[in-house]
């Protein structure tokens, strides 16, 4: 490359503000001219801009786009998709903190909890191929009693119960 070309490249880079470069990058455009897209496909970065011939391939994104996708889908969208499961997790937390039983006197034994108990039991039966109710009513103790043991580290239980 000639000294003249180096001088032109340096002047071109100096004329573009950092703010403009960031905005162009966020929009997926060439950081130098802003005209062409820098991605050939969703996560595949192009090698150079067809408009200004800027060497885009030297700016490696590595895992950045994939990480951002996982961040958005996994942490922002997923809770909206799986919010119905949280009620059953609340029931599992209650079973874990009470030693595997919920009695009629417990505040957790509301109609809503009973419905969630039935849904949880159905999912456990389906998942593990069980034929019997995994959380049946125990007449002697007047409580729903889990047929399984929930083990968690003390710090996990403290986090779950506040």
Q: Using the 3D structure, point to which of 71, 95, 125 is the last residue of a domain.
A: 71
Domain holding 8, by residue range, is: 3-71
What count of other Cβ atoms lies within 10 Å of the Cβ of residue 11?
A: 9
- Rounded Cα gap, residues 137 and 69, in angstroms: 44
Do 49 and 117 lie in one domain? The reply is no
Predicted confidence (pLDDT) at residue 31 exceeds the cutoff of 70: yes
What count of other Cβ atoms lies within 10 Å of the Cβ of residue 116?
A: 21
**Quick check: is 103 in a domain?**
yes
Do 46 and 100 lie in one domain? The reply is no
The pLDDT tens digits of the residues spanning 85-127 come to: 566 777 777 777 777 777 766 555 567 767 878 888 888 888 8
Q: What is the pLDDT of residue 7?
A: 44
Mean pLDDT of 7-32: 73
Using DSSP, state whether 3 is helix, strand or coil.
Answer: helix
Token pair of 90 as six digits: 């609340």
Domain count, the chain: 2
- Rounded Cα gap, residues 159 and 71, in angstroms: 23
At residue 84 the predicted structure's pLDDT band, cuts being 50, 70 and 90, is low
At residue 4 the predicted structure's pLDDT band, cuts being 50, 70 and 90, is very low
């Amino acid at each position: 490359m000639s000294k003249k070309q180096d001088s032109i490249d340096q002047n071109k880079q100096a004329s573009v503000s950092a703010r403009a470069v960031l905005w162009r990058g966020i929009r997926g455009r060439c950081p130098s001219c802003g005209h062409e897209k820098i991605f050939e496909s969703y996560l595949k970065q192009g090698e150079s801009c067809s408009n200004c011939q800027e060497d885009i391939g030297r700016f490696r994104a590595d895992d950045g786009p994939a990480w951002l996708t996982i961040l958005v889908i996994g942490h922002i969208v997923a809770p909206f998709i799986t919010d119905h499961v949280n009620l059953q997790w609340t029931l599992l937390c209650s079973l874990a903190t009470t030693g595997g039983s919920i009695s009629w006197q417990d505040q957790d034994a509301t109609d809503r909890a009973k419905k969630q108990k039935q849904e949880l039991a159905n999912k456990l039966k389906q998942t593990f191929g069980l034929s019997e109710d995994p959380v049946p009513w125990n007449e002697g103790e007047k409580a729903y009693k889990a047929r399984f043991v929930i083990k968690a580290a003390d710090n996990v239980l403290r986090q779950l119960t506040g």
